[in-house]
Amino acid sequence: MPLRIGVPKEPAAGERRVALVPETAARLAKSGLEVHVERGAGARAFFPDTAYTEAGALLASDRAELFAKTDLVVQLGPPTPEDAESYEKPGGVLVSLVYPGRNLESVRAMNAAGITVYAMDLMPRISRAQAMDVLSSQATAAGYRAALLAAELSPRFLPMLTTAFGTIRPAKALVCGAGVAGLMAIATLRRLGAMVEAYDVRSAAAEQVQSLGAKFLALPVEASGSGGYARELTDAEREKQRALLGSAVAAADAVVTTANVPGKKAPLIVTRDMVGRMRPAAVVVDAAAESGGNCELTKPGSRVEENGVVIVGPTNLPGELAHHSSYMYSKNIEAFLKILIGSDGRIVAAEKDEILDATLLCREGSLKHGPTRQLLEAR
């Protein structure tokens, strides 16, 4: 009997993305897997049920039917703690983004339900895993969307305009955090005609920033950590950063922040004081709102106005670009399934592959991911 893959509607309210798009479903079906899709699962990302059936997938009328008929469920967000039991099934496997540090109760419930969970956000950043790198695919969408949001909220033109009635100077944009999302935000703001400056605590980002036609703001605070990521700043470094960054923030018409430190709350970069020095009509888009925010005034999911400066902290930027975010995520999942499902059509033991081993969160009642186990034990 072929392995049966299930694609449910996402459990989180407001989530528009879907984990598998019809194009991928077609390739999986062709490779001999059975793909089952809950009715309407792709609708909010503009992938209708008919596109799935034409791709060779079968429709399930609800979650209960989908879970009963499938061995492996792929989705974007973790189940809520209350929902976890519905995934229970001997040998049942879930492949999803989990962010265990932020969803400990869901992890506890999934583990108690005996589900085997692969967390796509634990994907190691090694070259063999690039095609499965969900953090990069979704950060690409987030950075693009954050730049568009800044343009949309700004009451100014971004490009320079020379008209019969005068010249308008280009908007000054500042991007804090020049990782995957930040670089995409820089490229998008540049395409819209803004003059872009960018800052990161990893000086290695300077070359990438400059190659996009932006200016790198070189501050004497270097905090490269392991694996190409940043480390948390010390208090003294944070003070130094703030003292030096204030005037760049004050001069900006649009600030887009994307800074993160893996496993930690997002660093606070733009303080209330700095916002107080900004000009009216300036905007701040805090793309790190979901992990705590880079701006002191950010209210995740809301819009705040302070002395004419608008600050927004969207919590699901990739979800606002649901069609293409789903497409990229689906490609990531397809690449992952190629190593998770062996040539005999069975699930490969995690110990046989470093990518499976790194992403395995829990299996049949045992928590495999050490840092998550420690966090749960500490509660």
Ligand X SMILES: NC(=O)c1ccc[n+]([C@@H]2O[C@H](COP(=O)([O-])OP(=O)(O)OC[C@H]3O[C@@H](n4cnc5c(N)ncnc54)[C@H](O)[C@@H]3O)[C@@H](O)[C@H]2O)c1
Active-site option among 229, 238, 353, 373? 229
CA–CA gap between residue 319 and residue 15 (Å, rounded): 6
60 burial class (0-12, 13-18, 19+ CB within 10 angstroms)? buried
Q: What is the DSSP string of 65-97?
A: HHHHH-SEEE-SSPPPTTTGGGG--TT-EEEE-
How many H-runs (helices) and E-runs (strands) does the chain carry? 12, 17
- Give the whole-angstrom CA distance, residue 219 versus residue 232: 16
Q: Which is nearer to ligand X, 11 or 314 (CB)?
A: 314
Q: Which of residues 140-179 bind ligand X (CB under 6 A)?
A: 176-179
Residue 182 in contact with residue 200, Cβ under 8 Å? yes
Residue 139 or 340 with smaller CB distance to ligand X: 139
136 lies in the binding site for ligand X (CB under 6 A): yes
From the list 61, 130, 247, 302, the catalytic residue is: 130
Query: Which window, 4-12, 57-65, 222-230, 347-355, contacts ligand X (CB under 6 A)?
Result: 222-230
Per-residue x/- mask for ligand X, residues 85 to 114, rule CB under 6 A? ------------------------------
55: left (phi > 0), else alpha (psi -120 to 50), else beta? alpha
Q: Does 122 bind ligand X (CB under 6 A)?
A: no
Residue in 227, 150, 218 with CA at minimum distance from that of residue 178: 218
In this chain, which of 15, 121, 197, 200 binds ligand X, going by CB under 6 A? 200
**For ligand X, what does the binding mask look like between residues 301 and 320, x meaning CB under 6 A?**
--------------------
- CA-based nearest residue to 249, from 220, 284, 221, 219: 284
Q: Tell me if residue 99 is catalytic.
A: no
Asked about 130 being catalytic, the answer comes back as yes
Identify each DSSP E strand in 128-179 by its residue range: 161-163, 166-168, 172-176
Question: Is residue 125 annotated as part of the catalytic site, yes or no?
Answer: yes
Q: Is 139 in the site for ligand X (CB under 6 A)?
A: yes
Length of the chain: 379
Asked about 118 being catalytic, the answer comes back as no
Site for ligand X in 227-246 (CB under 6 A): 228-230, 233
Minimum distance from residue 227 beta carbon to ligand X (Å): 7
For ligand X, the binding residues (CB under 6 A) are 125, 130, 133, 135-136, 139, 176-182, 199-202, 205, 228-230, 233, 258-262, 267, 269
